[in-house]
Amino acid sequence: MTNYGHRIRFGVEVLGGSDAPGDAVALAVLAEELGYDLVVFPDQVGEGGADALSLAAWTAARTRTVQVAASRLDARARPASVVARGAGSLQLLSGGRGMLVLGSGSAGEDLGVVEEAVAVIRSLQDTSRSRVSSAGTYHRLADAEPGPALDREVPLWLYGADTALAALAGRVADGWVADLDEVGVEGLAGLNAVLDRAAIDAGRDVREVRRSVTLTSGDAADVSALVALVVDHGVSSVVLRVRTGDATQLRTFIDDVAPAVREGAERALPPGALSSRPVRRADVRARRRPGIAYDHVPDDLVATAVEPGDAAFGKVRSTYLRGGNPGLVLRQRNAAEVASAVGFAREHMHLPLGIRSGGHGISGRSTNDGGLVIDVGALNAITVLDEAARVVRIGAGARWRDVARVLQPHGWALSSGDYGGVGVGGLATAGGIGFLARKHGLTIDHLRAVEMVLADGTLVRASATENTELFWAARGAGANFGVAVAFEFVVDEIDQVGWAQLAFHAPDPAAYLEAFGRVAVTTPRETTPFLILGQGIAQLMAMVDSSDPDVIVSQLQPFAEIAPLMQQQVVIAPYAAVMNMFPETPHNGRGEPVSRSAFTREITPGFAAASADLIRSGASHWYQIRTVGGAVADVAPDATAYAHRDANFALAVMGANAQRLDRWFEPVRRQSHGLYLSFESDRNPDRIADAFPSATLDRLRRLKAQLDPDNLFQDNFNITPARDHTRNAS
Amino acid sequence: MNSDTNTDYGHDLLFGTFVTPTTHPVHQAVEQAVVADRAGLDLVTFQDHPYVSSFHDTSTLLAYAAARTERIHLAANVTNLPLRPPAVLARATATLDLLSGGRIELGIGAGAFWDGVAGMGGPRRSPGESIKALEEAIAIIRGIWDTTDRSVLSVRGKHYDVHGAKRGPAPAHPIGIWVGAYKPRILRLVGRAADGWLPSMQYLQNGLPELTEMNRHIDESALAAGREPSDVRRFLNIGGQFTSQRRGFLQGPPSQWAEELTEVALTYGTSGFILASDDTTVTQTFAAEVAPAVRKLVADARGTSRHE
């Protein structure tokens, strides 16, 4: 008895429709409505008929759930490289519903050409490389760009009843399909054995290759024979071949035959034998990293988990600024899955653990080398809970650009950072120093409640009345205590704002900085300026929380007088427009970002001089000062874990080389007090004392000992558990 | 304007967009096609560079976008022939034309970026070879589409050898074959064999006046082949920016664009303007404020000249 544990699927192969391909599409659309899993279009370009790839793409646009296959593709009809790109686009546009079946099924097919085509298609899907080549006499690649990057590889099946083809399928394919009428049950068993042997010889798991049969008539379908095919011969897809116009057969088969086959097979096999757990190819498994129980990833996470050999790995391995090579990325779709993932992480305490929302963070290590990543990017729902009180629930994976876009039609905004691509979770557990900070405070100052999965896997809600100590800690040091899944914020009534981008001639950075500091501390709270200072040039971005041109101009005027203006643009725009200024870009960070942070109450001559030396040294390519103070300082330092309420300026600098940057940054640090952890990448334990005053840190360490005594969440600005507390507790 | 230099092939005017087939975001190009469709434009087109992995496969994108639009015609601008075997290209284009109710056209080029083509396993052709291959391909494509011809389809070319291939499917409407071309030899091919000519403004080394000479090659070749110059519609891929102030050619308010495009239409006989746009507002402005104005101005001018 052979069964490979694959879930049973039913499909329909649509014949005909060469002169009226619309009829074929109509049948496919009906198949989806009836509950079929798969529609298959056999290619007819060899016989003066319709192009299967066009039919598949068109059908993908007219369906929502069904898998769409272009089938019986003669490997010689088109360059395999272009077929690969087409399949990639089909996969992207359809949301992962594409499929290719190579092999015309004709006797005497040149399987060498088929094998070359498979190699080319596989190579172009391998986006872990920058260029790919593939030798061949008919299909080849020479330094071609692989891609497009896919979330899931396009399944590549072979069609035919030939022994050599079955063996080839065993070596290289994801599935094999034959006409049952042609091979018969005995023939199928024989070819299956050939396929298995070839797979094993190639170092593969026989379960990597799905087995499928096409039935030429549903009327004669013998349920017990089909059950036997599933139970004894491992067939997991049964495809009914139907001519356009024959909708009756389509209905009968799915209504009567399919459920009976499913039931019969489930009765005959041990419970749970037919799973939807994917079996990864040997070459994918070969890229697994040590120390990870890949085959024990919880069932609810299996479908979305990404391993190094997976197609989606290129898109998830790195973050905005940090290059990464994690061993496993778990992508949760709800809080229960986050709890599963945390449980799995607890069994892997020996590995680095990254927590990722938007993947923009500099200090938070939301990627790593060989470790786990819990990626909550899919938890991105934004829901208005209370229109009158302006309470909004926001998933940790949402991006601030999307938050702004959703709030804007209500005439609302929530101060975030300076870039719309940043994720909610990382920023809203650290602080959130944004363009509305001086008028409306930090992002965390708007927090009413947070839902978090703790180290022990429990989901808790923290607010002013529940888990109050955690609510305090989550606002400034949240990443140490759990995985935030959602936040409830009270947002502000903000419609249009003044938005200024000014560029100054600033040959003397120290003088510019001092003047900027003087103006900034006296400017009304409506205005929050951010300054980027470079060699010879200063760029000021400022938001004025007002839609009155007179107010905007009068508050900006003192800044405009600091130095000669080279460029200026002032517009009245929604906050959402500012957050959506830059398009979404893929995250392809490389290496390790080097970033330093400091707070200061004022820009003293000493601070300005040290900064000027730093800028002139060339050790830093990014020097940004954000103004804080105002409403941020209205909150007591001990009200949240973010304690540096008295600072008026937050500095962030970035460089390429840590040693070199530190040489020039140390004098600046000496002129400042404290730091904002989101912009500090130095892992020196001294920095933790800069991030949190001692009273805050002691309190955090006591809570850490209580909620995460084993220090599961440590791959960030780590607050080590208080040891005395552990003793007391035991 | 001196009427001696005026050229007019008498075609009604078409307006369309040239949309980047980017895969990031995945559906952006499709959405821009829908924008163009709803805005009432005649045509949406996508470039075809299979060696660029950040672009969608143009053939797949055309099919998907056609299924999501209702009225607009779609075309590659232009198909990379060396990577698209002509018989399959003909069948795929016809399949899509049937599915879309006659909304597909065939923009095609002899090929470019030969390193990219060769890297994808395609042939590396000299300019002369690529033009020869295109001429053979056009013969094959027309032969595949012509199911009324009962003879054996046979094009025994140097680059493509098709003998005895079945004809069909027949497209739903006469699909226009529009060729991207600049040099005299390929322009003469356009005159002999194509239904449209699809140059891009940005590749005209000496600017728009170059169109006069290029038109001449097409016209003479058409006449020599027993065709009419008006058998070849003249398109132009254009780029520009809507600004409140006049800054230059197609850099100004829509009314300025309308005047400028009218002049191009009347001077060079251009009857299809395809604007590079990935921006909803730009596309809508082009459709709502430029296209109708040009149509009116050109109709007025043609009316006047007829009465003289």
Is a pLDDT exceeding 80 seen at residue B243?
yes
- How much is the average pLDDT of A702-725? 90
**How many residues comprise chain A?**
730
Q: What is the pLDDT of residue B1?
A: 40
Interface contact B87-A45, CB threshold 8 A? yes
pLDDT in tens, A196-205: 999 999 999 9
CB contact under 8 A, A51 and B88: yes
pLDDT tens, A497-519? 999 999 999 999 999 999 999 99
- Joined together, the tokens standing for residue A22 give 């619309």
What's the one-letter identity of residue A121?
Answer: I
Cβ atoms A721, A709 nearer than 8 A: yes
| Residue of chain B whose Cα is closest to the Cα of A131 | B119
Q: Tell me, yes or no, if the pTM score tops 0.95.
A: no
Collect all residues of chain A within an 8 Å Cβ-Cβ radius of residue B61: 57, 89, 93
Inform me whether the pLDDT recorded for B18 exceeds 90: yes
Whether the CA torsion A202, A203, A207, A208 is positive or negative: it is negative
DSSP state of B231: G
Mean pLDDT score, A341-361:
96
Tokens of A685: 């334990």
Residue B22 sits at the chain A interface (C-beta within 8 Å):
no
Evaluate whether A559 touches A502 at the Cβ level (below 8 Å). yes
Top mean-pLDDT range of A182-191, A709-718, B53-62? B53-62
pLDDT band at B227 (very low <50, low <70, confident <90, very high): very high
A363 token code pair: 């200090």
pLDDT score at B203: 93
Q: What is the pLDDT of residue A4?
A: 86
C-alpha triplet A363, A367, A368: angle, nearest 5°: 100
Question: Which pLDDT does position A220 carry in this prediction?
Answer: 64
Q: Angle formed by the axes of helices A111-125 and A80-93, to 10°? A: 50
Question: What are the CA-CA distances from residue A407 to residues A491, A492, A650 (Å)?
Answer: 9, 10, 27
pLDDT tens track for A206-238: 999 999 999 987 666 789 999 999 999 999 999
Domain residue ranges in chain A: 9-268, 497-684
Res. A572: pLDDT tops 70: yes
The tokens describing A601, both together, are 């109450």
CATH class in words for A9-268: alpha beta
Instruction: Name the amino acid, one letter, at A181.
Output: D
A727 pLDDT tier (thresholds 50, 70, 90): very low
Residue B264 has pLDDT above 80, yes or no: yes
The residue of B26, B59, B120 whose CB has the most chain A CBs within 10 angstroms, and thus the best one to mutate to test that interface, is B120
For residues A710 and A217, the model is more confident at A710
Q: What's the CATH code, domain B3-302?
A: 3.20.20.30
The CATH-assigned architecture of domain A497-684 is 3-Layer(aba) Sandwich (3.40)
pLDDT at A129: 87
Q: What percent of chain A has pLDDT over 70?
A: 98
**Contact: A58, B99; criterion CB under 8 Å:** yes
Q: How far is A48 from chain B (nearest CA, A)?
A: 5
Kind plus residue range of the DSSP H or E element containing A694: helix A694-707
Per-residue confidence band for A1, with pLDDT thresholds at 50, 70 and 90: low
Other C-beta atoms within 10 Å of A411: how many?
13
Structure tokens at A306: 């990404």
Q: Given CA atoms A154, A94, B71, B21 in this order, what sign does their dihedral have?
A: negative
Q: Compare CB distances from A86 to B60, B95, B99 and report the shortest one's residue.
A: B60
CA distance A339 to A328: 16
What value does the mean pLDDT of chain A take? 94
In DSSP notation, B22-41 reads B-SSTTHHHHHHHHHHHTT-
In this structure, the number of other CB atoms found within 10 A of the CB of residue B149 comes to 11
Q: Would an 8 Å CB–CB cutoff place A49 in contact with chain B?
A: yes
The mean pLDDT of A176-203, rounded to a whole number, is 95
User: Region A446-463: what's the mean pLDDT?
Assistant: 98
Tell me which chain B residue has its CA closest to the CA of residue A135: B121
Cβ count within 10 A of residue A78: 24
Task: Kindly indicate the confidence band of residue B308, based on its pLDDT and cuts at 50, 70 and 90.
Answer: very low
What pLDDT, on the 0 to 100 scale, is given for residue A689?
A: 93
Query: B234 is written with which tokens?
Result: 């003249």
Condensed to tens digits (0 to 9), the pLDDT of residues A591-629 reads: 899 999 999 999 999 999 999 999 999 999 999 999 999
Question: B139-154 pLDDT, tens per residue?
Answer: 999 999 999 999 999 9
- C-alpha torsion sign, points A339, A340, A342, A346: positive
Q: What pLDDT is stored for residue A219 in this prediction?
A: 62
B172 touches A: beta carbon within 8 Å = no
Q: Which residue of A has its CA nearest to B171?
A: A19
- Three-state DSSP class for residue A462: strand
Average pLDDT over residues A355-369: 92
Beta strands A496-506; A565-574: pairing state: antiparallel
Query: How far does CA A194 lie from the centroid of its chain?
Result: 40
Neighbours of B27 (CB within 10 A): 17
Q: Which helix (H) or strand (E) holds A3?
A: none
- What are the start-end ranges of the E strands in chain B? 14-19, 43-46, 73-76, 79-80, 104-109, 153-156, 161-165, 177-179, 196-197, 233-238, 241-242, 251-252, 270-276
Cβ B292 vs Cβ B255: under 8 Å: no
Break chain B into its structural domains and give their ranges: 3-302
Spatial separation of the C-alpha atoms in residues A662 and A656, rounded to whole Å? 11
Contacts of A20 in chain B (CB under 8 A): 98
Task: List pLDDT tens digits, range A30-88.
Answer: 999 999 999 999 999 998 999 999 999 999 999 999 999 999 999 999 999 999 999 99
Name the residue among B121, B156, B123 with its Cα closest to residue B139: B156
Kindly list the residues from chain A whose CB atom is less than 8 angstroms away from the CB atom of residue B53.
85, 124, 145-148
Question: Is the CB of A403 inside 8 Å of chain B's CB atoms?
Answer: no
Q: Which pLDDT band holds residue A476 (cuts at 50, 70, 90)? A: very high
Name residue, tokens 């209702």: B70
Res. A726: pLDDT tops 70: no
Chain A nearest CA to B302, separation (Å): 41
Distance CA A281, CA A283 (A): 5
Tokens of B7: 């050229």
**For chains A and B, what is the number of CB pairs under 8 angstroms?**
154
More confident residue, B264 or B307: B264
Question: Chain A, 342-361: which have a CB under 8 Å from a chain B CB?
Answer: none
Taking the C-alpha atoms of residue A672 and residue A649, their distance in angstroms, rounded to an integer, is: 10
pLDDT digits (tens, 9 = 90+) for A377-419: 999 999 999 999 999 999 999 999 999 999 999 999 999 999 9
* Distance separating alpha carbons of residues A97 and A94, to the nearest angstrom: 5
| Rounded CA separation B261/B267 (Å) | 10
Cβ distance of B88 and A21 shorter than 8 Å: no
The CA distance from A89 to A54, in Å, is 12
In the prediction, which pLDDT does A3 show? 84
- For chain B, percent of residues with pLDDT exceeding 70: 97
